[in-house]
Every structure is written in C-alpha cells, then in structure tokens.
Amino acid sequence: MPVTLYKTITIIIAIASMSALLTLSPKVDIAITQMVIVGSNL
C-alpha cells in the first residue's frame, strides 16, 4: 500500500473521529474503532 494512500485513509479516519466526538454518537465511535482495528490487522 502506497504511503500516500495510507496517510489519506488516516486523515479520513481522524476527521470521522472528530465528527463522531462532535455528535457524541457512541455507535459511530465503535464503528470507527472497529475500522481502525481491522486496518491495523491488514
């Protein structure tokens, strides 16, 4: 996986995480956490 693509995905996840915190949605936080865990296992 190209480093640029990895950084782009990381930024997208970071933005999604901030959005989740702003909306205070536990379900979204859980979904993002699962995405990060799955991404770490790739």
Tell me, what amino acid is at 8?
A: T
Rounded Cα distance between 7 and 25, Å, is 25
Mean pLDDT (the chain) is 79
Split into its structural domains, the chain has a count of 1
CA atoms within 13 A on the CB side of 14: 6
Query: For residue 21, what are the domain limits?
Result: 3-41
Nearest to 12 by CA among 35, 34, 30, 41: 35
**pTM to 2 decimal places:** 0.44
User: Cα–Cα–Cα angle for 18, 36, 11, nearest 5°?
Assistant: 45
Average pLDDT over residues 17-33: 73
Per-residue pLDDT at 42: 64
pLDDT class of 1 with cuts at 50, 70, 90: low
